[in-house]
């Protein structure tokens, strides 16, 4: 009996040890796995994120774990399937993939402040000063170089809504204004005729990443893959490529800014935007016109969401007001060729 009890105790102890060891192995294996980025694709630039601030920003640019902007993104329709971002793109030689230089990965939300009286908010001025002072970084939030009264019109397209992009393109063609449209991979795949029209009519089609992840939260190789997957698709299907990138939700870090520039892209932010992304909370074309035009200032980079009916209906008047105030619309090519 004593021998039996001794044997039973030994077996029990060995079993418990094995279970404990197995649990530790499971956790260690999981902790080594790089999470797959499956962010839903939405429009926006602080367009695409379902966690939107409820009010306009009132503080300066500060580190943040969530986007700090008055232009957060709308969630994609529930029927939209997320695109996996695990495909490897080999065309980019990612410099320092492990960030051995120790570039800061601290996440910054993008706050731009509300401009008024024809003057940019101090936040926008500080943003551009910060970008200009960073080594090996090319980024635009506000044009502080051009002496003339110019502005840049940009749209974020994460998904198509009620064919509003076609209406926007009609207005731009009528007014003779060129814009930049920042798109995701799902938009490119699902709206080929609209993307082709953008290109054919002389607009810039910018890169808003494949799946809209938070760039400071992923590796440098994943960042390059996010940009490269969309760029590869555009080259393969449209024979087109442009060197302009907009960070999902505006979330950026020193490391991610440097990575974007290192693979040949310019980062494009904004200095004018408003809460236009919620398709269920449109307030009318008059509201859109008055809100946007009240924030006009020289060098403005204007962000609008193409899912806003208010924007589509007010765009013609916005352009007329800008021209009447002496503004000229320039393209991103016009700005960056100065560098």
The residues annotated with a catalytic role in the active site are: 156, 305
Q: What is the dihedral of CA 207, 185, 57, 289, to 10 degrees?
A: 80
Which residues, at least 6 apart from 231, have a Cβ–Cβ distance to it below 8 Å?
A: 207, 241
Give the tokens for residue 38.
Answer: 């499956």
| d(C-alpha 200, C-alpha 197), whole Å | 5
**DSSP E strands, 226-326:** 244-245, 266-268, 300-305
Buried b (16+ CB within 10 A) or exposed e, 27-44: eeeeeeeeeebebbbbbb
Longest Cα–Cα distance of the chain, Å, equals 102
Assign residue 126 a region: left if phi > 0, alpha if psi is -120 to 50, beta otherwise? alpha
| d(C-alpha 194, C-alpha 166), whole Å | 7
The phi and psi torsions of 37 (rounded to 5 degrees) equal -85, 115
Question: Under a CB-based contact definition with an 8 Å cutoff, are residues 267 and 140 in contact?
Answer: yes
Give the tokens for residue 277.
Answer: 């992304």
Which residues, at least 6 apart from 55, have a Cβ–Cβ distance to it below 8 Å?
A: 70
């Amino acid at each position: 009996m004593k021998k039996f009890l001794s044997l039973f105790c030994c077996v029990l102890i060995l079993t418990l040890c094995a279970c404990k060891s197995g649990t530790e192995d499971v956790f260690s294996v999981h902790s080594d796995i790089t999470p797959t980025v499956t962010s839903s694709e939405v429009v926006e630039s602080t367009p695409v994120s379902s966690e939107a601030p409820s009010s306009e920003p009132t503080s300066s640019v500060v580190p943040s774990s969530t986007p700090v902007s008055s232009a957060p993104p709308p969630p994609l329709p529930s029927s939209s399937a997320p695109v996996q971002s695990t495909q490897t793109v080999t065309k980019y030689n990612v410099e320092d993939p492990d960030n051995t230089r120790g570039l800061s990965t601290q996440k910054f939300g993008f706050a731009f402040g509300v401009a008024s009286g024809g003057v940019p908010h101090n936040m926008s001025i500080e943003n551009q000063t910060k970008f200009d002072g960073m080594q090996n970084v090319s980024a635009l939030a506000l044009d502080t170089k051009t002496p003339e009264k110019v502005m840049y019109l940009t749209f974020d397209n994460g998904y198509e809504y009620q064919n509003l992009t076609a209406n926007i393109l009609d207005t731009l063609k009528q007014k003779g204004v060129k814009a930049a449209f920042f798109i995701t991979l799902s938009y490119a795949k699902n709206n080929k005729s609209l993307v082709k029209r953008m290109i054919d009519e002389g607009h810039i089609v910018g890169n808003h990443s494949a799946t809209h992840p938070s760039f400071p939260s992923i590796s440098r190789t994943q960042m390059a893959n996010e940009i490269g997957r969309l760029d590869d698709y555009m080259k393969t299907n449209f024979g087109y490529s442009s060197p302009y990138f907009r960070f999902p939700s505006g979330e950026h870090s020193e490391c991610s800014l440097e990575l974007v520039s290192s693979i040949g892209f310019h980062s494009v932010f904004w200095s004018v935007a408003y809460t236009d992304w919620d398709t269920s909370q449109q307030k009318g074309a008059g509201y859109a016109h008055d809100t946007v035009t009240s924030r006009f200032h020289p060098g403005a980079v204007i962000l609008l969401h193409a899912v806003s009916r208010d924007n589509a209906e007010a765009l013609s008047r916005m352009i007329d007001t800008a021209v009447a105030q002496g503004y000229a619309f320039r393209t991103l090519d016009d700005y960056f060729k100065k560098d």
